[in-house]
Every structure is written in structure tokens, then in C-alpha cells.
Amino acid sequence: MFKKILASNPLIMLIFSAVVLSAPIWLAPFGANYPDLLQKFAIFGIFAVGYNILFGLTGYLSFGHATFLGIGSYTAVWSFKLLTMNILPAIVLAMIVSGLFAVVIGYLSLRRSGIYFSILTLAFAQMAYSLAYSVLTPITNGETGLQVSQQDPRVLDAMAGIAVTDGIPSTNLFGALIKSQGGYYGFYVAAVLLIIAFYISLKIFRSPFGMKLRAIKSNQTRMKYTGFNTKPYLLTAFVISGMYAGLAGGLLASIDPLAGAERMQWTASGEVVLMTILGGVGTLIGPLLGTTLIKYFENIFSALNDSELHSMFSFMPEGLQNIMVTVVSPFVGEGWHLTLGLVFMIVVIFLPGGIMQGLTHLFNFVKRLVGLGGSNKVIDNMAANDTPNNTLNKHKGEA
């Protein structure tokens, strides 16, 4: 039965949509059901799902995908300034423009593979970041970041007779303000786009095209001698993932109409790599799990400070309490990345397939406990179809 569910696209999409759209309800017990965080889950989820099409399927590790996130954001804000505050043209343009950049950057970076490819993408990302800060200031507004203002032309809005009279205009989708409903509207817009993005990713994973991308990851030499020109396949995957990133960037700007260069910094590129690996590279749902966990814990840990730690450890005697606070405090607040780094190391060393691998082990373990018979076929099939054991996994298998 389980296998049937996994094999059926409509059923997967039904469950997935239900889970995503009901997130404000089931995340409530975790204290994570407020719009700001929910929007982040959905938007970075799109980013990670798209990144996984490149990294998960072809194995090409890009260290520069935040570039497309940034380009998407800038494009969206320009669309708000010049065309309309409606987010639809903004995100469509964001995808198109970041896709065009992905064609150029991908074409050049894909001339190399492995570590050289990663370095090239990183170099392009850093170039984009520095350019946004320096010579491109007229377009990016440098350090201040690009913002909308009341005086912007907004040609389409002007034609439609929409005028902004007080303060900074707000983004909308055909009149409905993104910020309305306390921000939940923004979340639902992002959630619907996430569902569409996930569906496309699911289709790609289960198409001949997706299988060929996996074959490239598995053995590119064989692929060439089997009669495939691998370059266009890789470039297509690169551009698709770049457009996903552009969509995510456009959405970020739609929710908060400003774009800054720090969105393109290498740490942002690194974050999506972490999300994907933490959740499980090459699995359908893993990157989303990774995104949710990282964004959730970032939210909790980075908000902690010393006085809160003191109250957390207040049940301890004074001396011990101080020691605990001293030990823990470097890992919270500004030091949240230290915690993230530690978690990442632990996952890569002990669970190279990410959380998805852990869940698979757990599932098999429970099944053995319950004694549902010795067949692990379901999970094996799942592994074969949706989790082409990544390279990290392979090494573990050999050990």
C-alpha cells in the first residue's frame, strides 16, 4: 500500500498540498505558525527544491546559487518600481531574468566539472555580489539596497489609474495586499507556488529527462559513449534550478519589497547547500525538511541571548548556571552558525544521506520491531526511485 502511495503522483501531491496548506495549524505547537517564518519556510523551500534538481540529480555542486536569488529580488523590485506593485509580473520577470543569467553563468561554469565547477560558480557569485555593491550601484542602489518609493513611475499601475497617495506602496496580487490577513495571505501565495514548484520537481524526477540527469551523476563517461551530449542536459538542469532561485528571490521581494546585495553573499549560497544535504540530497522531500529545520532553529537559536539563557538554566545552582550560560552562549544568538556547523558535521559524518536516510533507517527499524515481515522492498524501491544514493552514501557503503 505504501508503495502505491509513493508511486502515485496525484496522491503525493494531495498529501503534500494538505501538509503545506495546513502548516499554520500543525506548526502551532512548535510556536512556528507566524507568517514571517511560514513565508520563509515556503520561499526557501522553493529555493532548495530547485537547487536539488541541479545538485541532487546531476551531482554538480553549485556554490553560487544565491546569485540567482539576488537577481530575482532585484528584478522583482524593479518591476515594482517601473511596472506595477502586482507581484505576478514581478515573479515572472524574476524567473526570466535569473534564467537568462543562469544560461550565461551555467554555460561558462559547466565547461568544468567537480571541484572546478564549484569554484567557478563561487567566483561568479562573488563577482555578482561585488558588482552589486560597486559599479552596479545605479541598478542595485549599493549598500542601501533597492527600495520602492511613492514617486516611482509604475507605468501599468498608472495606466490602470492606481495611484499611491500615502507613504510607500505595498505589494499586491490583483489588488489583494500581500501583507493582508496579518501576513497569512503572503504565506498562502508562497505556499501555492511551492506546491507548483514541488509538482514540477516531482515530474522531472520521474521523467526520462530526470533519469538521464541521474545517469550523468552516476557515470558521465558512460553517458557520453551511450550517445548523449551531456552538456545541454547539465545546462538545462542548471537553468531550471536558477529559475527556481529567481522565483524564490522574487517572492522574497514580493513579501518585503526591497533587495540588497547581502542576499547574494556566499553564506546564502552555502545555506542552500546545507539545507539540501541536511535533508537528503537527491530525495524529493529532503531539501524541504532541511529548509524547515534550518529556518526553524535559526529562528529559535538566533533569538536567544544571555539573560534568556540564565532563565533557562535558573533551576541550577548559581555557579553551575553561570558555567552553563558561558558554555552555551557562543552557540546562540550571533553564534547560531556555530551550532549549524556542528549539526551539519554530525549529519555528514553519521548520516550522509541526511534526515531522509535517518527516516529510512527508522522506518525499517520500526517495521522489524512490529514484525511486518522481512521485506524491505518498499524502502528499497523508494531509495532506488527517489534517493539515488549520493556520493557520500557510496563511500559509507564501501567502508
Partner 1 sequence: MSIILDISSVNKTFGGLQALNDVNLKIEEGETHAIIGPNGAGKSTLLNCCIGRLIPDSGSVTFNGQNMIGMQPHDINHAGMVRIFQTPEIFPDLTLLQNVMVPALAKRDGTFKFNPFKSLSAEKAILEEAHATLADFELDKFHDQLANSISRGDKRRLELAMGIIQHPKLLLLDEPTAGMARHDTNRTIDLLNSDKMQNMTKVIIEHDMHVVFSLADRISVLVRGNIITTGTPEEIKNDPKVKEAYLGESDEGESEDE
Q: Which residues form the interface with partner 1 (CB under 8 A)?
A: 7, 9, 200, 203-204, 206-212, 214-215, 217-219, 221-230, 232-233, 236, 240, 380-381, 384, 388-389, 394, 397
Assign 3-class secondary structure to 283-323: CCCHHHHHHHHHHHHHHHHCCCCHHHHHHHCCCCCHHHHHH
AA letter at 174: F
Q: Closest CB to partner 1 among 361 and 377?
A: 377
**Min dist. Cβ of residue 286 to partner 1 (A):** 16
Q: Closest CB to partner 1 among 206 and 310?
A: 206
Q: Closest CB to partner 1 among 77 and 202?
A: 202
Q: Closest CB to partner 1 among 210 and 260?
A: 210
**Min dist. Cβ of residue 287 to partner 1 (A):** 18
Q: Closest CB to partner 1 among 56 and 186?
A: 56
**Min dist. Cβ of residue 283 to partner 1 (A):** 13
146 phi, psi to nearest 5 deg: -85, 130
**Min dist. Cβ of residue 213 to partner 1 (A):** 10
Task: Report the C-alpha gap between 159 and 342 in whole angstroms.
Answer: 54
**Min dist. Cβ of residue 260 to partner 1 (A):** 33
**Of residues 262, 102, 85, 224, the one with CA closest to residue 160:** 85
- Give the CA radius of gyration of the chain: 22
Return all residues near 362 (Cβ < 8 A) that are at least 6 apart. none
Q: Is 120 exposed, middle or buried (0-12, 13-18, 19+ CB in 10 A)?
A: buried
Beta strands, E only, the chain: 146-147, 172-173, 176-177, 258-259
Q: Closest CB to partner 1 among 184 and 228?
A: 228
Measured at the CA of 371, the angle between CA 370 and CA 377, to 5 degrees, comes to 110
Q: Closest CB to partner 1 among 10 and 319?
A: 10
**Min dist. Cβ of residue 33 to partner 1 (A):** 34
**Min dist. Cβ of residue 364 to partner 1 (A):** 16
